Structure 1
Amino acid sequence: MKKEEKICEHCQQNFSISEEELILYKKVEIELPTLCFFCRIKLHLSFWMFGKFRKGKSDLSGESLITVLPEKTRYPIYTLTEWHSDKWNALDYGIDYNPDISFLKQLQNLQEKIPHPHQNGSKNTNCDWCDDVWNSKNC
């Protein structure tokens, strides 16, 4: 089995799928990628929160927090504990799909209404200035 050459559906650049990758895709029964590596990374990272750390307040309790989310967000920010709590009901934000409006526009509207946690990670001690950190202490 040789490598396979493809054209990215997004950027139209040529990319190769190595023989080893082809074997893996076949073994785990995954369809071959239609996007090049860089376009796949862009899609993956499009929902990743990048930013500078800043102090802020929870929109639910007013509790002080540290987050990478921008100061002027279009959505409420809750502490991670509040976000996982029963102090709010995620079902209150449910909306019906409207086929007459673009799906992406509806998704954007939904994302701008629902609360977001101030950071990701759990089981941390003294790690207020960290995000996407798990099972850590004093970092």
Structure 2
Amino acid sequence: MKKNILISIIILSLVVITFFNYSCKDESAETCDSIVFPDTGTVRYLTHVQPLFDCSCAFVGCHGADTKEIRGFSLDDYDNFMTGATRQVIYRGDPDASPLILRVEGKVGVRMPPDRPPLSMNQINGLKRWIRQGAPLN
């Protein structure tokens, strides 16, 4: 009896892991090239940052609203990753120490977003500038 329960738990765990692993791959192959950050001036969350998250990160199985409990944060809404995360994703004013930047640059762990085109240098530099500006909700 205990052996059957253990086997069932293992199989269920593998199914859940497989779902979350492949759900990111099922999204469209959109490269997010149309999202361009300004070279100078203020980077705006609503104009630049959230659209980039929506395109590259904040969907089912990755960092959408449905994964907050599993991954500790979601990128579908400002409050979900700035104040509602179980771990800090962004250090205001310090992009080089921010886990978000370290992951999109591939310096720590798996490069984000996995199984999708990497963010462009313009997008990474734009995110860094927004964080350096204090990561405001603007």
Q: Same fold (TM over 0.5)?
A: no
TM-score bracket for the superposition, by shorter chain length: under 0.3
TM-score, normalising length: structure 2: 0.27
Q: Work out which of the two has the higher radius of gyration on C-alpha atoms and give 1 or 2.
A: 1
TM-score, normalising length: structure 1: 0.27
Greater helix share, 1 or 2? Answer: 2
Per chain length, whose mean CA-contact separation is higher, i.e. which structure has more relative contact order (CA < 8 Å, sep 6+)? 2
